[in-house]
Structure 1
């Protein structure tokens, strides 16, 4: 059942070699990263997504570690983490045949970013 949910979300195509039992855990790791760090989401092109993350060495290390593990099981992903000028961005690219996976990633990151922005807007200064 869990695998069906993950596959329905377009997250784990057949090219993914992560064991089925571990796939929901990986999705949860990305959701947590997104919820805690995403400040902006931009779709540069159909096969490319840019995530603006909260700046900080802990966020950069976490994103690097997670994306390195993801590249190990889903080799079709290209992740580029950039730290420059007080900003942190994560560019994600996929080949055209995996663009639907990027659609899901964008939706999840965007939803997490909106939740974070809403929560911060309600906090006293």
Structure 2
């Protein structure tokens, strides 16, 4: 299987993702909703590392853990780390290997474009 990306307008999912194709639009919608509701900012720490600054609410942390656990099970190239630097802050670090930098680029762009739309 190649690692080319699905070319639909709303998708940045590589072919290597094990999520069934029919479920991908639903997962993308979940990410969009999460980005819109929870993301407050982003830092690109390196080509392979994105840090999302999230709303610090407890339900946001639960949602982030749930969504990233499910995403890790189908797209094993992602590494997600959730941290709470202080009581009111929450970060989500997303890392990928060099072969998937383009997926991280698309994820970062999507997170910020959805966030800006709110």
TM-score, normalised via structure 1 length:
0.84
Per the alignment, residue 107 of structure 2 pairs with: 105
Provide the rounded CA distance (Å) in 1 between the counterparts of 2:111 and 2:73. Answer: 21
Q: CA deviation at 1:4?
A: 3.9
Say which SS state the counterpart of residue 17 (structure 1) adopts. coil
More helix by share: 1
Provide the rounded CA distance (Å) in 1 between the counterparts of 2:114 and 2:8. Answer: 19
Unaligned runs of 5+ in 1: 117-125
Provide the rounded CA distance (Å) in 2 between the counterparts of 1:100 and 1:24. Answer: 19
Say which SS state the counterpart of residue 84 (structure 1) adopts. coil
Deviations 1:26-68 (A, max 9, x none): 0110000000011001111000100001111100000100000
Larger radius of gyration: 1
Aligned length: 112
Unaligned runs of 5+ in 2: 1-5
Per the alignment, residue 15 of structure 1 pairs with: 16
Q: How well do the aligned residues superpose, as a CA RMSD in angstroms?
A: 1.4
TM-score, normalised via structure 2 length:
0.89
Q: Which stretches of structure 1, 4 residues or longer, exceed 3 Å deviation after superposition?
A: none
Say which SS state the counterpart of residue 88 (structure 1) adopts. strand
